[in-house]
Amino acid sequence: MDLLECYLSKMAVIGGVNLVKIAVGQGLNDLLVFHNIGTCDQKLIRTSIELDSLLDHYLVWYKPNSQGMQGWQIPGSYNYKAREYLECILRNTVALPQSIHHLINSLSEQVTAEIMILAAQDINTGRSIIVDGTKRAMALLLMNIDSPKKTEPIFKSIYPISLLTLRSKQITKMFPCDYLKL
């Protein structure tokens, strides 16, 4: 069992902590290490059209149920799709979180590091969920709608925007809480 498989086997035990990102961040950046559990690829996002492809992903954030409660353990609360969440922000039915507002301001001023977004795709259903970098993705999408001229320098920056996608038949076991309500 290689190091990554060991991480993944522990994920269910410790509640779905994003050990895939931790493994990649610790230097396991050769994406071939995922060959036993699925495939992993990295795609650079260099245009508004490529950025808009994120709108079809689900988010780890949940819609409120009829009682206004939300979360993976709450009956009637289901994951937002990125497109749906963005539309709710634009219609003011969901408040823009301060953290995303701060990211928009920060990214508008200067990009100082790579922007990485991690998605997990269940190849059984084709459903994909952003499991890390959700706030960064939403900030970029909102900037692109509000002022596409603000995102152009980010696309041209020396620091790339990367979408790292892990595809597996086992993805729902690797991210059990995230895939529970899709």
Q: What is the pLDDT of residue 15?
A: 46
CA–CA gap between residue 49 and residue 52 (Å, rounded): 5
Q: What is the pLDDT of residue 26?
A: 60
pTM given for the model = 0.79
Q: What is the pLDDT of residue 31?
A: 47
End-to-end CA distance of the chain: 30
Query: Which residues of the chain carry a pLDDT beneath 70?
Result: 1-36
Amino acid letter, 180: L
Q: What is the pLDDT of residue 20?
A: 57
Q: What is the pLDDT of residue 36?
A: 65
